[in-house]
């Protein structure tokens, strides 16, 4: 990182009346503590972890006697140096009452040379640059070292101007956050609408008149033209292959694309990062996907367990991982899209969530439970008509959600531009229209 601090790398140069100094001249960074699980107890002091910075109320607790520098209380400024970009990485103002300890992935920032809230917004502006420059090439969670963060340049205007800008940013970003929350709630409502529409079209009566009969109490009374049929009678399940470094590759082998759990999303297949694997030809023959297979993952989040996604031949002769099940419907009796959508109904969710094996964070299913899934089976013609009706409604919801996500992106860009412009002195907050004078 450059040692010249006459400018900042995340915006245009600030006004001549401002100073620019490295963070280490304004604050000290205190490391959190490495906690051992055998020290946790229900009666000790709460430990702040990364997930707690975003509002989680679940705390591990410790009875360890710690140095005062590990203490955190309301009003302290924190910096999560390891987290997800845009969510759990960067500065946070801790406002919870009481005393807490800090874990090793979070710095406590002891401010000495400027207004604490000014430093928060300066670090928020700097975080956009840190995520882009210092953590480039990192996949998933990103991190910054103590030395790198200590040398981040911070602009320093006169104290009165610091406070004016802080007041402006507090109000304006709160306004943007309210609009963001409203759009997120609208997307959640559309998700619920999709859930209801799929259920109502594929299993009429599920939402209004469940029969309450064991073992599938949520289903309506059966009708003659749609008997309840076990999936194993109308489809077969193909298991995938494992990666085995000791496998003999001296004979007839093939190299083909290899679909993993990460490639199977709730409603689509992601083939952007599919790798290749070399295996004996006879093993490849037993694990090759065919267009029309319905893919289900063995484990994952409970609410997505058993969610089926149709493989449409996106890659030729593609193989699949052993943790991805390929369900191959009997074409004359079961439509692949009908099966896929059936797993998204109330019936599908109730079945897989009630039969899944649950752990602390994940859940899993197996081939027997998938093949035991009971499906209302009308004629193939009716299946396809219902799929078409569902798809029309899902397309409408998808278009609405796409517009809402575009608005969320614009709000995020607006928030970032506003913070950087204000913190670097290129937005005159004294002439900006107050947030309370605007209509949301």
pLDDT at 142 over 90: no
Evaluate whether residue 332 is within a structural domain: yes
- At residue 1, the pLDDT reads 38
- At residue 2, the pLDDT reads 37
Range of the domain at 1: 1-157
My answer on whether 232 and 153 are in the same domain is no
Among residues 133, 157, 181, which one ends one of the domains? Answer: 157
My answer on whether 368 and 277 are in the same domain is yes
DSSP class of 288? B
- At residue 438, the pLDDT reads 43
pLDDT band per the 50, 70, 90 thresholds, residue 5: very low
My answer on whether 9 and 149 are in the same domain is yes
Average pLDDT over residues 402-430: 93
Evaluate whether residue 256 is within a structural domain: yes
My answer on whether 146 and 232 are in the same domain is no
My answer on whether 127 and 4 are in the same domain is yes
Evaluate whether residue 331 is within a structural domain: yes
Average pLDDT over residues 389-418: 96
Distance CA 132, CA 155 (A): 19
My answer on whether 135 and 256 are in the same domain is no
Tell whether omega for the bond before 94 is within 30 degrees of 0, i.e. cis.
no
Residue 127: closest CA among 8, 28, 17, 12: 8
pLDDT band per the 50, 70, 90 thresholds, residue 439: very low
Evaluate whether residue 218 is within a structural domain: no
My answer on whether 145 and 242 are in the same domain is no
CATH at 328: 3.90.220.20
pLDDT band per the 50, 70, 90 thresholds, residue 162: very high
My answer on whether 231 and 362 are in the same domain is yes
- At residue 410, the pLDDT reads 97
Find where tokens 């109000």 sit.
171
My answer on whether 4 and 84 are in the same domain is yes
Is pLDDT larger for residue 175 or for residue 47? Answer: 175
Highest mean pLDDT among 195-199, 263-267, 433-437: 195-199
Distance CA 307, CA 265 (A): 9
Evaluate whether residue 266 is within a structural domain: yes
Evaluate whether residue 87 is within a structural domain: yes
Among residues 126, 157, 188, which one ends one of the domains? Answer: 157
My answer on whether 127 and 260 are in the same domain is no
- At residue 65, the pLDDT reads 53
Evaluate whether residue 352 is within a structural domain: yes
Residue 77: closest CA among 23, 21, 156, 9: 23
My answer on whether 102 and 242 are in the same domain is no
Residue 294: closest CA among 374, 241, 238, 350: 238
Among residues 362, 377, 392, which one ends one of the domains? Answer: 377
Average pLDDT over residues 91-113: 88
Domains of the chain: total: 2
pLDDT at 3 over 60: no
pLDDT in tens, 337-381: 999 999 999 999 999 999 999 876 688 999 999 999 999 999 999
Q: What is the mean pLDDT of the chain?
A: 87
pLDDT band per the 50, 70, 90 thresholds, residue 103: confident
Average pLDDT over residues 150-172: 94
pLDDT in tens, 236-254: 999 999 888 777 778 889 9
Evaluate whether residue 407 is within a structural domain: no
My answer on whether 359 and 276 are in the same domain is yes
């Amino acid at each position: 990182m450059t040692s010249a601090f006459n400018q900042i790398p995340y915006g245009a140069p600030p006004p001549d009346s401002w100073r620019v100094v490295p963070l280490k001249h304004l604050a000290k960074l205190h490391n959190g503590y490495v906690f051992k699980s055998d020290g946790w107890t229900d009666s000790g002091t709460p430990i702040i972890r990364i997930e707690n910075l975003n509002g989680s109320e679940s705390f591990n607790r410790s009875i360890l006697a710690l140095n005062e520098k590990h203490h955190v209380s309301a009003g302290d400024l924190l910096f999560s140096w390891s987290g997800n970009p845009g969510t759990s990485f960067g500065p946070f103002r801790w406002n919870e009452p009481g005393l807490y300890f800090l874990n090793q992935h979070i710095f406590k920032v002891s401010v000495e040379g400027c207004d604490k809230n000014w430093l928060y917004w300066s670090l928020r502006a700097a975080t956009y640059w840190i995520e882009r420059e210092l953590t480039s090439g990192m996949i998933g969670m990103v991190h910054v070292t103590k030395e790198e963060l200590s040398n981040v340049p911070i602009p320093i205007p006169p104290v009165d101007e610091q406070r004016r800008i802080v007041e402006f940013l507090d109000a304006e970003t709160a306004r943007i956050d309210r609009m963001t929350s409203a759009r997120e709630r609208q997307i959640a409502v559309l998700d619920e609408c999709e859930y209801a529409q799929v259920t109502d079209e594929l299993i009429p009566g599920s939402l209004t008149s469940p029969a309450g009969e064991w073992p599938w109490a949520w289903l309506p009374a059966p009708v003659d033209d749609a008997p309840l049929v076990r999936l194993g009678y109308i489809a077969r399940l193909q298991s995938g292959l494992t990666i085995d470094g000791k496998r003999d590759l001296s004979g007839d082998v093939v190299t083909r694309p290899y679909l993993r759990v990460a490639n199977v999303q709730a409603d689509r297949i992601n083939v952007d990062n599919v790798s290749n694997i070399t295996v004996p030809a006879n093993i490849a023959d037993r694990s090759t996907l065919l267009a029309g297979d319905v893919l289900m993952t063995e484990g994952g989040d409970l609410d997505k367990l058993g969610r089926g996604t149709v493989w449409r031949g996106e890659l030729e002769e593609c193989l699949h991982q052993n943790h991805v099940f390929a369900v191959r419907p009997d074409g004359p009796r079961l439509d692949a899209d009908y099966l896929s959508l059936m797993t998204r109904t109330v019936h599908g969710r109730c079945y897989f969530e009630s039969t899944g094996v649950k752990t602390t964070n994940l859940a899993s299913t197996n081939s027997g439970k998938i093949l035991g899934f009971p499906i209302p089976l009308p004629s193939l013609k009716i299946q396809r008509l219902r799929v078409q009706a569902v798809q029309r409604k899902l397309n409408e919801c998808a278009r609405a959600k796409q517009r809402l996500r575009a608005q969320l992106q614009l709000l995020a860009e607006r928030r970032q531009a506003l913070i950087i412009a204000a913190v670097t002195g290129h937005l005159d907050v004294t002439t900006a229209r107050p947030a309370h004078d605007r209509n949301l």
